[in-house]
């Protein structure tokens, strides 16, 4: 398979796949013409990476998860730890965004949004 094939099958852009090769997440062999030649295993890996990224795991987490996936001697506790840490970071991020949302909602609803200059949003940002 050429890169375009695995791109459409994995859902990842070709650019991203080249990038993943550059940083060592995958290393497809090359054909005579210099084209990357992907097998089912590489496609499987890329799909794995796509799903992990879709769950918000960082590239470094993905690297670890992939290594654990390929390590028969892994302990599920290692995987769980990575996922739990990530979950915790996500929950912190959600809390932070919810706090912003709450403040913003309040500000937006208090602003007339008309053609006059007075604005509670700016007043709040400029408060002393």
Q: Does 3 bind DNA (CB under 7 A)?
A: yes
- Partner from its own copies, DNA, none contacting 40, C-beta within 5 to 8 A by type: none
Write out the binding residues for its own copies, residues 103-122 only, by CB under 8 A: 103-105, 107-108, 111-119, 121-122
Decide: helix, strand or coil at residue 124.
Answer: helix
Contact 49, 12 (CB under 8 A): yes
Q: How many residues bind its own copies (CB under 8 A)?
A: 52
Q: Which two tokens stand for residue 98?
A: 């919810």
Question: Interface with its own copies by CB under 8 A: which range of 5-13, 19-27, 28-36, 54-62?
Answer: 54-62
Nearer to DNA, 89 or 110 (CB): 89
Q: Does 68 bind its own copies (CB under 8 A)?
A: yes
Q: Does 101 bind DNA (CB under 7 A)?
A: no
Which residue from 38, 35, 28 is spatially nearest to 8, judged by alpha carbons?
A: 38
User: What gap in Å lies between CA 114 and CA 67, rounded to an integer?
Assistant: 57
Buried b (16+ CB within 10 A) or exposed e, 39-69: eeebbebbebbbebbeeebeeebbbbbbeee
Residues forming the site for its own copies (CB under 8 A): 44, 48, 51-52, 54-56, 65, 68-69, 71-77, 79-81, 83-84, 86-87, 90-91, 93-94, 97-98, 100-101, 103-105, 107-108, 111-119, 121-122, 124-127
């Amino acid at each position: 398979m050429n890169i375009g094939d695995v791109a459409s099958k994995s859902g990842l852009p070709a650019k991203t796949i080249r990038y993943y090769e550059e940083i060592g997440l995958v290393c497809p062999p090359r054909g005579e013409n210099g084209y990357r030649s992907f097998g089912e295993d590489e496609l499987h890996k890329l799909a794995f990476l796509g799903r992990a990224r879709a769950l918000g795991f960082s590239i470094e987490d993905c690297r670890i998860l992939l290594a654990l996936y390929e390590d028969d001697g892994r302990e599920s506790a290692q995987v769980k730890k990575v996922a739990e840490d990530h979950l915790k970071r996500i929950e912190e991020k959600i809390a932070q965004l919810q706090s912003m949302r709450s403040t913003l909602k309040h500000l937006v609803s208090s602003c007339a949004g008309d053609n006059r200059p007075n604005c509670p949003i700016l007043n709040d940002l400029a408060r002393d």
